[in-house]
Structure 1
C-alpha cells in the first residue's frame, strides 16, 4: 500500500506559481567584446550607431575601430582588468563607445546617474573606487565639471577625469598610441564571460545606493534575449530615448541591438518627445523605447500626426504599467503592433518577464508578460518562503543567468537579496496567473517608482532631517496620473508657528538631491499614525493622502 501524498496548498488543478523559460536557443558564452566582433564580421558595412544631435554615424566596422582606439586609450592611461571606470554623462556616442571599450579590456564600467548632485557623485566615486571618470561637461542646469572639482580632493582613488568634447577627451584618445592592437587582443583573449563588466547603483533603504555588479554573461544574454523576443535582426534600427545609465538603455537598447547587428539611434542627449519622433522619421527606425510617460508625451505633441512613423513595427515599454488607452494609441497611431512590455530590476540585468509579439491587448496592459528564456520565476509567501498557488499574491523571486554577482563590497546586503538557492528576492508583490503571465500588484517595502525611477523614501527622509524647520518626516509614494507615483513628504515641524513650505523644501533639495527624488507634495502634521510597537504606519499615510 502506497503512502498518502502529503497535502499541499495547491492541488493539481491549481499549479504552483513557478515557471521556467525553456528555450531551444542557447545562451551566449561570449564576452561583450567577442559578441561585438561577431557583429562586425557579419555586417561590417551596416550602420551600428547614429548620434542624431551630433550629426555623426558609424558602420559596424567604423564603430569597432572607434571602440578599439578608446580601449587602447584606457590601457595607455594604466587602466587594468578589474579597475573601475566611471561614466557620468547624458546619452551620446561617447557613452556607447565607453561601454564597449571598457568591456574590451576587462575594466568595470560604473554607471553614474547624470541627475546626481555633488554629494551623490562623491559617494559613488569612493564606494566603487573609481580611478578614471568620463563625464559630460554641462547639460541643462548641471555643471558636471564644477561638481567634479568640488569633490575631487575627497576622492583619493580618482586619478583622471576626461570631459567629452574637450582636450581631456583627446588626451584619452591619444593615449591609444602607446598600446598596439596586438596587446589589446591578447588582453581580451584572457577575459571570461563571467567577469564583472558593469556596476549600476540602485537606491538603498539605508539612505545610500548599492552597486549591483553585473557580468558579461548577465547583460549580454539579457540584451540578446530581449531582442529575440521582438525578433531583432540586422534590418532593425532602434530609437533609444531612455537613459543609457539604466539597464533599459545600455542592455535592452545597446546590447540587444549589437547582438543582432541592428543599429542604435540616439535621438537626443536626454528625452525630448519631438526630437524622438523626428529621429524615428528621419532615421527610419523600426523600434522605439520608452516608459509610459514618454509615449504619452509623444502622443500629445502638437502636430503628432504629421510625423511619419510608418517604419515602426515594435518597441519596448517598461518602468511602470501602461494604461490601456495609451497602449491602444501606441499600437494604432505609432504603428507599433508588436510593442512589448518588460519587467525586471537592475539586479537581474534587468528583464525577467516580457510580453510576446503576438500577445493581446489585455496581456500587454494587465500583465508584465511571462518568464524569459533560461530564467526561473516563482511567487512565494514573504514570511515562509513557500511557493504559492497560482492566483495568490506573494513576493516575486527570480533565478538564472541574469542574477547579479552581488552588491559591490557589500556581502551582507548581497546575502539579504540573494538566498542560498540563488533566488533573487525582488521585494515586489506579484500574482502569477493560470496562463503563467505575471501581474505586479505592489511592493513589500516602501519603494516609490516615479516615472520609471526607483526612489527609496529613507534616503530622502535622512536628508530632510537636516532641514532647520523639520522635526520629523516620513516620505511615501502616492498615486499620480502622469508619473505613476509622486513623492509626498509628511512633515512634523519644529515650530508649529513656523512651518516649512513646499517651495522651501524644494529649494533645500535642489542642489543636493537628484530632481526625481525631490518631494512634489507636502503635508504638515502634528503626529504620525503608529503601530502598537511604535513604528510609523506608512500604509496609513498613503491611504490618507493618496487617491487609490
Structure 2
C-alpha cells in the first residue's frame, strides 16, 4: 500500500470537507488530493529522484508529501535552519530533486546538481494546474515514503528511510478512519522536517480532523489561533508548552474551552511544568508521546488518565509515572538491554530496544536492525514493574566516572527541586583522577540569584551518592535547545572548555 491511500480515503468520503487551514487559506480534502495528483504529474515530468521541502509548514508540505508518494519517489523535508555548508551537503545527497521553498538558497548552494527548484506559491499553482488529468494510481518506486536526515553531531547526518509500510503500520494501528467530527481541529506547529510534523499530517487526515498549521511558533500566535479556530487537539514540545504557560500565567488567556487534548514530546518535560499545565487546563487531556524518526513517530504513550492518576496519587511509585513516557503501543515491543545485549529486568537501566512493523531501523547508508528485528534506539531508560517506560537521556550521554555509569537525568532531577533553579544539565567533563567527572550547568529562576556552588554540591550529596557531586559548575542565562525542545548537550559541554 501507499500512504496516498490516507488522503484518497478522506477525499472520497467527504471531498468538500475542510482538511487544512494555513494563513487564512482553507483546503478541502478533494482539493488537497487533486493538488497532490497534480504535484505527482509535475514530479514525474521533471525526472526528479526526490522531492525536497525547504520551507516552513504550509499546504505545500501536505501536497508535496502525498504528491511524492503518488510519484513513487521519497519525500525529503530539509531543515531550513541549517548552516549553508550543512544544507549544501544535504542537497547534493538528494540530487536531482524537485525542491520546494527557498529557490535562491538552492541555486546559490548547489547550482550544478540538476535540482528543479520552485517557490511555495509556484509549486502549489503548478500542482493545481496539473490536477486535471493527473495520474491517479500511485507508482511503486523503491517503496520509500520519506527520507529524513537525522541531526549529526560528530558525523554527517544519516538518511533515515521510512517505507510506506512503516508509516501505514503506525497510522492504521493508532488512528480510526474518519473518527473526528467536522468541528475538531488539530493545531500543528512543529517543523515539517521533523517526524512529528509528518505524523501529524497523516494521522489528522486519516481521522479527518481539520489541520490548522502555524508556520512559525509564537506563544501569543498559538493561543490566538487555538481560540479562533476552536482547536480541539494540539501537539507541542516542552519548550513551546513552557512559553505558552508563561503567557497564560501573565494573563493572556483567550478562550481554550474547545481544547480537548494536548500531546507533547520531543524533549524532557519538567515535572513542575506539566503540573502547572494540568492546573491551568484541567479539562484538557494531556498525552506524553515518545518516539523516534526511525520508528515512524510514537512508540509509547502516557495518556490523560495516567496523568490524572499520577497527579492525584500519594503512592511515590505511581506519582513518579508523571515523569515517564507511559506504556508501549500495543503494536510494538520494547526491551531494556545492557551493553552485552542481555535483557534487563524491571527497574534496571540500559539501552531501549524496540521492534514492530512501524519500526524502520533503516538508513540509506545501512540497516540498523539486529537479527531479531530489534532496533537500538541509543536512548537510555528503564521499565517499572507495571511496564511504564522512563527515559534517562541518550546512551551516549552517560557519564563514566571511575568505571561507574552515572545518568545525567538523576542529577538534573535533584537540581530542579531547588526553587531558585529554572533549568539544569549534567554532562561529562574531563577529569585527571576519574577519567570523567560531573559538570553541571544551571539557569537561575528570575528574580532569584543562582545558588552557591557549595549549596548545589550539598544538595546533590544529600540526595544522591558522593560520586554524583559535580566537579565543575557554570551558571548561564539559558541552556541551549534545538527547535524541537531537545537539550543540546554537545553545546553544554563547550561551556566547560578552557583555553
- Residues 340 and 364 in structure 1, CA contact (< 8 A), matched pair in contact too: no
Equivalent in 115, 127, 144 of residue 159 of structure 1: 115
Tell me if 1:525 matches 2:498.
yes
2:386 to 415, 431, 435: 435
Give the TM-score normalised by structure 1. Answer: 0.69
For residues 357 and 301 of structure 1, do their structure 2 counterparts lie closer, same or farther at Cα, with a shift above 3 Å needed?
Answer: closer
In the TM superposition, residue 283 of structure 1 has moved relative to its aligned partner by 0.5
Matched, 1:56 2:13: no
Out of 40, 58, 83, which is 1:71 matched to? Answer: 40
CA RMSD of aligned residues (A): 3.5
Q: Gaps (5+ residues) in structure 2?
A: 312-318, 399-407, 410-426, 428-435, 445-486
Inter-partner Cα distance in structure 1 for 2:321 and 2:211: 25
Answer whether contact 2:264 2:289 (CA < 8 A) is retained.
Answer: yes
Change (3 A) 1:106 1:37: same
Query: C-alpha separation between the residues in 2 aligned to 1:162 and 1:76?
Result: 14
* Offset at residue 321 of structure 1 (A): 2.5
Map 1:76-91; keep pairs closer than 5 Å. Answer: 76-79=45-48, 83-91=49-57
Alpha-carbon distance, 1:425 to partner: 0.2
CA distance in 2, matches of 1:170, 1:358: 42
User: Which whole-Å CA distance do the structure 2 matches of 1:128 and 1:61 have between them?
Assistant: 30
Q: Offset at 1:405?
A: 5.7
SS at 2:495 equivalent: strand
- How far the C-alpha of 1:309 sits from its partner, in A, is 0.4
Identify which of 190, 203, 219 aligns with 1:273: 219
Q: Find the counterpart in structure 2 of residue 345 from structure 1.
A: 292
In the alignment, does 2:176 pair up with 1:207?
Answer: no
Q: Report the Cα distance in structure 2 between the residues aligned to 1:292 and 1:480, rounded to whole angstroms.
A: 18
- Residue 221 of structure 1 pairs with residue 221 of structure 2: no
Which runs of structure 2 are paired with 1:94-493 in the superposition (5 Å)? 94-136=60-102, 145=104, 147-153=105-111, 155-156=112-113, 158-165=114-121, 168-169=122-123, 172-173=126-127, 176=130, 180-181=133-134, 184-186=135-137, 188=138, 190-191=139-140, 195-204=143-152, 206-227=154-175, 235-251=183-199, 253-267=200-214, 269-301=215-247, 304-335=251-282, 337-359=284-306, 360=309, 361=311, 362=319, 365-382=322-339, 384-404=340-360, 406-408=362-364, 410-411=365-366, 414=367, 417-446=368-397
Q: Give me the whole-angstrom Cα distance separating, in 2, the residues matched to 1:171 and 1:296.
A: 38
Name the structure, 1 or 2, with higher relative contact order (CA <8 Å, separation 6+): 1
Displacement after TM superposition at 1:380 (Å):
0.9
Query: In structure 2, what is the equivalent of residue 469 of structure 1?
Result: none
- Seen in structure 2, the aligned counterparts of structure 1 residues 112 and 300 have a Cα distance that, compared at 3 Å, is same
1: CA distance, partners of 2:5 / 2:346: 41
Query: Quick one: structure 1 residues 430 and 77, their matched pair in 2 at CA, closer, same or farther if it must change by over 3 Å?
Result: same
Alignment partner, residue 40 of structure 1: 11
| d(CA) in 1 for partners of 2:156, 2:167 | 24
Change (3 A) 1:290 1:174: closer
Structure 1 gaps of 5+ residues are 1-29, 138-144, 450-456, 458-473, 483-514, 527-548
Partner Cα distance (2:278, 2:172) in 1:
24
Q: 1 CA distance for matches of 2:226 and 2:490?
A: 32
Between the aligned partners of 1:394 and 1:298, the Cα distance in structure 2 is 34
User: Is the contact between residue 37 and residue 127 of structure 2 (CA under 8 Å) also seen in structure 1?
Assistant: no
* Residue 386 to residue 524, structure 1, CA distance change in 2 (3 Å): closer
Secondary structure of residue in 1 paired with 2:247: coil
Deviation, 1:394, is 0.9
Distance 1:271 1:238 in 2: 15
- The DSSP-based 3-state class of the residue aligned with 2:335 is strand
Quote how far apart the aligned CAs of 1:407 are.
Answer: 0.8
Residue 208 of structure 2: SS of its match in structure 1? coil
Per the alignment, do residues 350 and 311 of structure 1 end up closer, same or farther by CA in structure 2, a change over 3 Å counting?
same
Q: CA deviation at 1:125?
A: 1.6
Query: Could you tell me how far 1:131 is from its partner in structure 2?
Result: 2.2
**Contact 2:336 2:351 (8 Å CA) reproduced:** yes
Q: TM-score with structure 2 length normalisation? A: 0.75
Change (3 A) 1:385 1:330: same
Deviation at 1:336, TM superposition (A): 5.4
* Contact 1:74/1:172 (8 A) holds in 2: no
Give 1:433 deviation, angstroms. Answer: 0.7
Partner Cα distance (2:37, 2:251) in 1: 40
CA deviation profile, 1:298-356 (whole Å, cap 9, x unmatched): 11116644310000011211012222232233233235532110111111112211112
